Structure 1
């Protein structure tokens, strides 16, 4: 069996299985800790059903990541070998494989995968893609247009800046962009929560109700207020 691990023919299958295994481990650890805290601290009722809910959420999250890993890695191997796209089209291969895997796992076209979990993961990825896209556009603009900046009362092109100056400039723009993104995002979230909260994802809506709807709570003693 040890020779199988070093077999070139078995390598693609081993990579797919390893990627799936990593998805199970990562998804299980992430969802178990999150679901355990939510159910023990913020949910009421008998303990046994709550623990069962934790285990189910863990299984659902792990199965989503594992399924996408299998489909994505398998699609990459097929596109690389059977369609002869080759390494020179690595970006296109990964885009097509990611889109295909997402159509099966994350698009909710099939009812097998938990819609709440696929929704959460997709929104998480979208926020990261949006921020990364902004950084890519900024770097592309700086490198192509070569704008000038005032350094010690002199106009200096971007290409003539030192590496530390370039890094500081990029970081300054990134930080400002994040501030605007955070302000707009949270302004919209709080507005939607007040205006039409049913359109927000359920776990977000429940956590916001727990944190912000204190007007609906009553406290008879300081012990009730503190929560002990």
Structure 2
């Protein structure tokens, strides 16, 4: 069996299996803790029956990450073969591999994967990708357009004339300012939509917002009840 692990012929398959294993471990850790906390917060009753949906959600999350990891790794290994894209096109192969894996796992073309979990993971990645694309475009603009800035002495400098420390400070300032506007817009929209058409928000977000913000619908007969003790 040890010869299989060192045999280059089996290396692509072993890498795919290892990625799937890591997806199971990571998905299990993330989903179990999240589902357990949500279950304890919003549901009542005996502990053991309440653990069943926690374990099911953990299994579903692990399946999604493991399936995508395996499909993606296999697709990329096949695409970089000389008869297809070739080893010099790894970025294109990874783009196509990601699209192919998402078509099977995340797009809900097939009914094998939990739609709520695939929605959550995809939306999480969307927010991260949006921020990353913004930073990439900013870097491209600064390098290609070479905008002018004034230093503390009032001298006009191109972006490339700045030291690496000054460039980093400038980028962080722009990142920070854009994040402020992004956060303001997102929270303004989510609170507006929750009041206007809450049924269009994702169910777990809607339930958590109801729990936190709809306190005017609650009534309390004592301070103990008010404090939830």
Question: Which bin holds the TM-score, normalised by the shorter protein?
Answer: over 0.9
Which blocks of at least 5 consecutive residues in structure 1 are unaligned? Answer: none
Within-5 A mapping of 1:81-92: 81=81, 83-92=83-92
TM (norm. structure 2) is 0.97
Aligned to 1:44: 44
Aligned length: 228
TM (norm. structure 1) is 0.97
Which blocks of at least 5 consecutive residues in structure 2 are unaligned? Answer: none
SS at match of 1:65: helix
Aligned to 2:73: 73
Aligned to 2:199: 198
Write the distance in 1 (CA, Å) between the matches of 2:226 and 2:209.
18
Deviation sequence 1:165-220 (CA, Å, 0-9, x none): 00000000000111111111111111111111111111111111111110111111
Task: Determine if contact 2:81/2:87 at 8 Å carries over to the other structure.
Answer: no
SS at match of 2:116: helix
Write the distance in 1 (CA, Å) between the matches of 2:168 and 2:135.
12
Aligned to 1:107: 107
SS at match of 2:98: helix
RMSD value, Cα: 1.0
1:48 Cα deviation from its structure 2 partner: 2.8
Provide runs of 4+ in structure 1 moved above 3 Å.
none
Write the distance in 2 (CA, Å) between the matches of 1:62 and 1:82.
33
Write the distance in 1 (CA, Å) between the matches of 2:37 and 2:186.
25
Aligned to 2:6: 6
Deviation sequence 1:19-51 (CA, Å, 0-9, x none): 000000000000000000110122223333310
Aligned to 2:142: 142
1:82 Cα deviation from its structure 2 partner: 5.8
